[in-house]
Amino acid sequence: MFDQFKNLAQLGPMMAKAREMQQKMEEVKARIPHLRGTGTAGGGMVTATAAGTMEILRIEFSPGALADPELLADLTRAAVNQAIRHVQSQVEAQMADATGGLDLGALKGMMGG
């Protein structure tokens, strides 16, 4: 019977920790749109910049890249993909920091989500 009271005593600190984590998550959500990831391809012939929202903000081409449309398409795709990967890793790192490394995807799975 007293073991149940011990478990209840732990509920307060757990709830405080959950509120703290929620606040940190809100702070991260506010920062995400301001994150930037850049990708380059073809030795800098194409440069792409993505926001934390995974939106491509800018694509820049060197004059030499414009001569070959097929190469330009390949380099653009590579630069965009690299920019998105870079910004995704920044978002993941910020989320991991906010959650103290807690895997929220696993938690959601355990709760039937």
Tell me how far apart the alpha carbons of residues 72 and 79 are, in angstroms, rounded to a whole number: 10
What number is the average pLDDT over the span 26-50? Answer: 95
pLDDT tens for 44-96 read 999 999 999 999 999 999 998 899 999 999 999 999 999 999 999 999 999 88
Coil/strand/helix, residue 85: helix
Say if residue 31 is exposed, middle or buried (CB neighbours under 10 Å; 0-12, 13-18, 19+).
middle
Tracing tokens 């391809």 back to the chain, one arrives at 41
Identify whether the C-beta of residue 50 lies closer than 8 Å to the C-beta of residue 81.
no
Tell how far CA 59 is from the center of its chain.
20
Secondary structure (3-state) at 40: strand
Question: What global pTM score does this model have?
Answer: 0.71
| Vertex 67 angle, CA 64 and 70, to 5° | 115
What is the set of domains in the chain, with CATH numbers? Answer: 31-99 (3.30.1310.10)
Edge to edge, what strands does the sheet with 36-41 contain?
36-41, 46-51, 56-61
pLDDT band at 20 (very low <50, low <70, confident <90, very high): confident
Mean model confidence pLDDT for the chain: 85
